[in-house]
Chains A and B, each alone.
Chain A
Amino acid sequence: MKFTPVLAGLCLVGAAGIGHAEYPLAARDLAATCANCHGTNGHSVGGMEALAGAPADRMLKQLMDFRSGDKPGTIMHQITKGYTDEQLELIANFFAAQE
């Protein structure tokens, strides 16, 4: 059962990857912008949600809900508005794939 979200994630990478085909490290570089608060590769050292290994679909839904205002936040509703749909997908999939 553990692999279901990861496989879903890989499909998303495939879909989202088209626009970034010319630059293969887009997901890694984008996810690094989250590390200041959420830890290197999503491994939070405390006080912030750890993103490493979280299911991609759930993470992406949270990010989209922050952006739409459906999910209240202190700061994430403002930060998510700075990224495109495709970038949020790449980020969610990168973190989902971290152990």
Chain B
Amino acid sequence: MLNRRDFLKSVGAVAAGSTLAGAFSDRAIAAQARGHVVVVGGGFGGATAAKYLRMWSDGGVRVTLVERQREFISCPISNLVVGGVRQLADITVGYDNLRDKWGVEIVHDEVVGIDVGKREIRLANGDSLTYDRAIVAPGIDFLWDDVPGLAGNEDTIPHAWKAGPQTMLLRKQLEEMPAGGVYAMHIPMAPYRCPPGPYERACVIANFLKTHKPGAKALILDANPDIQSKKGLFMKAFEERYGDIIEYRPNSRLLSVDAANRKAELEFSEVTADVLNVIPPMRAGRIVDHLGVSLINDRWVDVDYQTMEAKGAPGVHVVGDAIFPAPQMPKSGHLANQQAKVAASAVLNLLAGTPPNPSPVVMNTCYSFVDATHVVHVASVHQFDTAQHTFLPVEGAGGLSPAPTELEGQYAHAWSRNIWADMLA
């Protein structure tokens, strides 16, 4: 564990840089912020929050990160692992730098209770952590019971919507699929984590089937009435690149599954597949149930977007996929990272007794592969609107790629390396 002086030395270059930015008050505020922040969850939101709390406070605020996994495994780029283009090791990053370089105390454990009144978090190992403020970034949990037959069968019917063993399971099933076989994916009703993700997966898997499983089909069964993101670009990719492989069926409500036969019962038909990939309906990670707040639509946490503090849970800020999003704000790792910075900035100001940023800004960039190398993007910028007290997308800003390119393929990988470093290096 670094002490404050060592910490200042280790990030001396960064700290010295920030004084040059004309931000002498920056240092003054950093010097004032004191206390202990517990961050729950070490994904795109939580890891970013932990690093930025330490960096922006010049090591003055103590930060404990609670994360049950030993390593971070990225959902973005995981479709390339499913498609056999990348390895799991390529999307795995350790927590060593957060601990050794930034002085974040890391506890690999499970949260079993949060007492918002006492500002205390209980862990499975029996320990308790008291906090001045907490940032909770629990990601999503699945609503297994919404699809009869699905609960307990994720080893047969993978979701691969949390990267790791599930990613490898889906990969293995695809490798073992017979030539001329059927891959079927079910997409839940929006909102779900990563709106373009299922359609990217469809493309990357179809690209694999095209070369390795002649005659195979990919059935994309979408509960939604239409493609949820980058619609024109994905429709074009489905038709032009995978016309004889992908069959896209909108309005496909899933009623139940039969795991033993890999059969999906839909509202108007039944599908039997060699590989059945059901992305279950989802909600905020169940850790938020400890906050005692009512969830929007019973699924998502209502936050004050200026600070990301949960409504009804003073002192607890929630970021990432778990929140009820502001208008047109997708559930993405990129936005979890951006929201984490809004939360970290607000937390440090509040700990220092200074007002939080009155007009925060967040933006989203999302790259999707339509094959192993060609990529399309969607981007948006969201400015805080004081009158409506929410983030609103800037009209006329953001947008889509005109067509897939290899240049954007290179940018997609550069994006992943830089965002993983922004969180964890």
Contact in complex: B419, A36 (CB < 8 Å): yes
In the complex, per-residue mask of A25-45: 1 if CB is within 8 Å of any chain B CB, else 0? 111111011011111110011
Decide yes or no whether B155 CB sits under 8 A from chain A.
no
Q: How large is the interface on A (under 10, 10 to 19, 20 to 34, 35 or more residues)?
A: 35 or more
Q: Is the interface of A mostly helix, strand, loop or mixed?
A: helix
Does A59 sit at the interface, judged by CB under 8 A? no
Do residues B338 and A36 form an inter-chain contact, with CB atoms below 8 A? yes
* A28→B18 contact, CB < 8 A: yes
Interface residues of B (CB under 8 A from A): 13-14, 16-18, 20-23, 25-26, 29, 51-52, 55-56, 334, 337-338, 341-342, 345, 349, 355, 357-363, 365, 377, 379-383, 394, 396-399, 401, 405, 407-408, 410-411, 413-415, 417-419, 421-422, 425
B21 and A36: CB pair below 8 A?
no
Q: Which of B13, B56, B405, B411 contacts A99 (CB 8 A)?
A: B13
Decide: A87 near B414, CB < 8 A? Known: A25-B23, A32-B341, A74-B408: no
Bound-state Cα–Cα, A17 to B361, Å = 17
> CA separation between A31 and B201, bound complex, in Å?
32
How many residue pairs between the two chains, A and B, have CB atoms under 8 Å in the bound complex?
160
Which one of A27, A82, A98 lies within 8 Å of B363 (CB-CB)? A82
Contacts of B341 in A (CB 8 A): 29, 32-33, 35
Which of chain B's residues has its CB closest to A77's CB?
B399
A97 within 8 A of B: yes
Given contacts A41-B17, A74-B401, contact A82 B381 (CB under 8 A): yes
Q: Of B21, B365, B418, which is within 8 A of A39 by CB? A: B418
Contact of B17 among A32, A39, A52 (CB under 8 A): A52
> What are the 4 closest A-B residue pairs judged by CB atoms, nearest first?
A82-B381, A47-B414, A82-B397, A97-B20
